[in-house]
């Protein structure tokens, strides 16, 4: 079983459940981290979507505004089979705030303006409200696992959405589109992190390699095990690409680790990548668990780039109803 899609966790799951039996079972609310100023040449649309991708909404919004597709942007892609609320921006100077009628799969809740457009990763995080249909679950084990996850965190894997139906497979067959290549890069990270989880070294600091500060991307080169245990630092790993700021020995270590996955390196090498480090630990915030008979409800706020499906996979084996 490929550790890209099915990585290892430090503890066993507590049962099985159904995910996304209907879109309202998976609600995502983007937390932008700032309020649009109300003025400027960029329209801001607060939109709720269901059964449609973020990219498709952007394309339809551009058409309604009679703008080229590139004039509409967003901070992050959200789940298709879910109820998602997120901001879109459109470059259209002026003072108007157009009214767009409700569409089959999306509707505008609010319109504002701002001086700057949205860039990928602008938002602070996402709030999730998830309901699972119980197949077989040990409630006591689930509660204990939930408490442990909130205390220790879970491996910060890229979730199943990054791989889609066949994004990774297309990359391995030579596909060069953005989604395929992003899936291949994520797969390499997941494999390397899964190996560390299996060796129980995923939270150990590595000499010469930076940890990241909680809530930011500042480097800590001298973080200790005590700092990591207290949540004052998170170990990190590089995504495939350049390795600036590292000693020669540390950079060579990562190149050798990349090379241990030649099927993915072959796909990734021809592309020019921006350097990026990803923290290996995901710490859900403002999290809550409710168990009501045949239904489980889990709420949590996650930072930009984190996947709620990863949190769920660390607790319970889920079957996505939309994968059939």
Give the pairing of strands 83-91 and 26-31: parallel
CB 51 within 8 A of CB 105: yes
Q: What is the DSSP string of 180-214?
A: HHHHHHHHHHHHHHHHHHHTT-TTS--TTS-EE-T
Cα four-point dihedral sign 98, 102, 103, 107: positive
CB 91 within 8 A of CB 71: yes
Nearest-angstrom CA–CA distance, 38 and 35:
8
CB 137 within 8 A of CB 45: no
Q: Please identify which of the residues 79, 209, 234, 313 carries the catalytic annotation.
A: 79
Tokens 């390196």 — which residue?
265
- Is 129 considered catalytic here? no
Q: Which residues are catalytic?
A: 79
């Amino acid at each position: 079983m490929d550790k890209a899609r099915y990585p290892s966790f430090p503890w066993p799951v507590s049962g099985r459940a159904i995910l996304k039996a209907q879109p309202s079972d998976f609600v995502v609310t983007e937390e932008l981290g700032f309020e649009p100023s109300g003025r400027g040449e960029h329209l801001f649309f607060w939109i709720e979507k269901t059964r449609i991708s973020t990219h498709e909404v952007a394309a339809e919004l551009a058409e309604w505004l009679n703008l080229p597709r590139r004039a509409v942007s967003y901070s992050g892609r959200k789940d298709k089979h879910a109820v998602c609320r997120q901001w879109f921006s459109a470059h259209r100077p002026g003072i108007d705030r157009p009214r767009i009628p409700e569409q089959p799969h999306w509707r505008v809740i609010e319109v504002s303006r701002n001086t700057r457009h949205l860039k990928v990763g602008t938002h602070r995080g996402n709030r999730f409200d998830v309901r699972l249909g119980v197949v077989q679950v040990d409630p006591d084990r689930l509660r204990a696992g939930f408490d442990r996850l909130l205390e220790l965190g879970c491996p910060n894997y890229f979730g199943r959405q990054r791989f889609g139906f066949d994004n990774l497979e297309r990359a391995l067959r030579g596909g060069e589109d953005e989604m395929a290549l992003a899936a291949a890069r994520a797969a390499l990270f997941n494999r390397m992190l899964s190996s560390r989880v299996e060796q129980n070294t995923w939270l150990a600091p590595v000499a010469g390699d930076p940890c990241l500060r909680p809530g930011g991307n500042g480097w800590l080169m001298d973080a200790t095990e005590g700092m990591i245990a207290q949540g004052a630092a998170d170990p990190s790993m590089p995504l495939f690409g350049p390795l600036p700021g590292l000693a020669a020995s540390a950079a060579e270590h990562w190149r050798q680790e990349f090379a241990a996955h030649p099927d993915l390196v072959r796909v990734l090498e021809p592309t020019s990548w921006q350097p990026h480090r990803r923290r290996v630990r995901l710490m859900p915030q403002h999290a809550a668990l409710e168990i009501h008979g045949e239904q489980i409800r889990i709420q949590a706020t996650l930072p930009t780039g984190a996947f709620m499906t990863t949190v769920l996979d660390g607790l319970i084996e889920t079957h996505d109803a939309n994968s059939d």
